[in-house]
């Protein structure tokens, strides 16, 4: 696919002016880095970074049975979630396989916002529409008219207070005290220059941070306003640093740690499936009946030195027998040693187990460690 065939976010001109290097990500022309992957990663860990995530989807469900429709469609229980809350959940196939992982916000008693991954927007929308049939709910795909900007890092709250809570900020309905009081996986709605604005304390970096949903035609103004208020406290960040940040935080990436042929329990996500708190939903019977014996499970791996395993690398036991495969790996910028996530035989999943990974034809000794690799205080 050539650049001319890729979709562009509303912030593409901003990225070009900043000298970004672009990549094809799920059919979108996205900034992979602006300067240095390492510098961008460290900025988020030490101060703050700003990301364009406008390739993600936004699907609204409105109606008196919106919650019940989502209970049927997703693995989690959404109907009892209070207004202003967010929940991580899974979209399962009938056979229990993971079609996507997504976040759902409850914006009002009869209004939910679902955020699919970029590569899954069309499929998720089709599945949600099919599964909502018979419920009193209307579904709107607002992906093309919504931009998503993330501000992540320990300085993110202070930056947004400076940028968005002044008298001339253009923001109404979200006060400084709302931001300060907002807990993790909470959200508040207001307006920005008269258009809807949603600010959520969510993210994909393992740091404190916020995600800002705004109308596409206001994305550049909002980006510029936040970056102007932040000054040198805020660094533009691309997809490369986003990936190393989420890997250190032990957060799965669909297509790497999650996929159609994997059950939630294999990925350590059994707790997201509401078997005990709600009735039937798509995939329930398959999850309940699944025999997990011998199915590989997701683990963290750590090594010494500077050589990092990459996705697809074979994992072997001490006798040289293949026992799994690496799904993501990197030389951790924060920890200073190689880390990886991998699926391995359940008998070898206990922390402290010594294994070997094939790194470009050379054996790399690794040890199973708990996830996440890095946890913020």
Domains of the chain as residue ranges with CATH: 3-53+145-247 (3.30.1360.120), 59-139 (3.30.70.1400), 293-377 (2.40.30.110)
* Percent of the chain scoring above 70 in pLDDT: 99
Spell out a b/e string for 158-192, using b for 16 or more CB atoms within 10 Å of the CB, else e: bbbbbbbbeeebbbeebeeebbeebeebbbbbeeb
pLDDT per residue as tens digits for the range 30-78: 999 999 999 999 999 999 999 999 999 999 999 999 999 999 999 999 9
Of 248, 243, 268, residue with least CA distance to 338: 248
pLDDT bucket at 296, cuts 50 / 70 / 90:
very high
Q: Taking a C-beta distance cutoff of 8 angstroms, is the pair 364, 303 a contact?
A: yes
CA dihedral of residues 261, 265, 268, 273 (deg, nearest 10): 110
How high is the pLDDT of residue 353? 98
Question: What distance in Å separates the CA atoms of residue 185 and residue 101, rounded to the nearest whole number?
Answer: 15
How high is the pLDDT of residue 2? 60
| Strand, coil or helix: 119 | helix
CB atoms within 10 A of CB 149: 22
pLDDT bucket at 281, cuts 50 / 70 / 90:
very high
How high is the pLDDT of residue 375? 87
pLDDT bucket at 138, cuts 50 / 70 / 90:
very high
How high is the pLDDT of residue 376? 78
> Is it the case that residue 25 has pLDDT exceeding 60?
yes
Q: Where does the chain have alpha helices with state H?
A: 12-17, 37-46, 66-73, 121-131, 156-164, 176-181, 219-230, 239-248, 284-289
Average pLDDT over the chain reads 97
* Burial tier of 31 (Cβ tally within 10 Å: 0-12, 13-18, 19+): buried
């Amino acid at each position: 696919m050539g650049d001319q065939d890729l979709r562009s976010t509303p912030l593409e001109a901003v990225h070009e002016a900043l000298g970004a290097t672009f990549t094809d990500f799920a059919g979108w022309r996205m900034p992979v880095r602006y300067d240095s992957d390492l510098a961008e990663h460290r900025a988020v860990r030490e101060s703050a970074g700003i990301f364009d995530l406008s390739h993600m989807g936004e699907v609204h469900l409105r109606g008196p049975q919106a919650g019940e429709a989502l209970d049927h469609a997703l693995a989690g229980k959404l109907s009892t979630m209070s207004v202003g809350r967010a929940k991580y959940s899974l979209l399962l196939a009938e056979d229990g396989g993971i079609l996507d992982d997504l976040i759902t916000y409850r914006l009002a008693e009869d209004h939910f916002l679902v955020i699919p991954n970029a590569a899954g927007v069309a499929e998720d929308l089709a599945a949600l529409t099919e599964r909502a049939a018979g419920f009193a709910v209307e579904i709107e795909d607002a992906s093309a008219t919504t931009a998503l900007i993330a501000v992540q890092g320990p300085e993110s709250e202070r930056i947004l207070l400076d940028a968005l809570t002044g008298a001339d900020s253009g923001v109404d309905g979200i006060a400084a005290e709302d931001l300060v009081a907002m807990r993790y996986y909470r959200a508040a709605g207001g307006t920005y220059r008269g258009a809807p604005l949603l600010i959520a304390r969510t993210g994909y970096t393992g740091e404190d941070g916020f995600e800002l949903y705004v109308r596409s035609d206001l994305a550049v103004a909002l980006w510029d306003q936040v970056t102007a208020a932040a000054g040198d406290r805020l660094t533009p960040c691309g997809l490369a640093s986003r990936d190393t940040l989420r890997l250190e935080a032990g957060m799965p990436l669909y297509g790497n740690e999650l996929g159609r042929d994997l059950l939630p329990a294999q990925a350590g996500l059994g707790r997201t499936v509401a078997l005990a708190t709600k009735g039937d939903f798509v995939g329930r019977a398959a999850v309940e009946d699944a025999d997990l014996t011998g199915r590989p499970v997701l683990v963290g791996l750590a090594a010494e030195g500077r050589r990092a395993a990459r996705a697809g690398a074979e994992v072997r036991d001490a006798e040289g027998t293949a026992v799994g495969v690496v799904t993501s790996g990197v030389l951790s910028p924060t920890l200073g040693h190689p880390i990886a996530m991998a699926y391995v035989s359940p008998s070898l999943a206990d922390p402290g187990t010594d294994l070997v990974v094939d790194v470009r034809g050379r054996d790399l000794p690794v040890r199973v460690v708990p996830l996440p690799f890095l946890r913020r205080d």
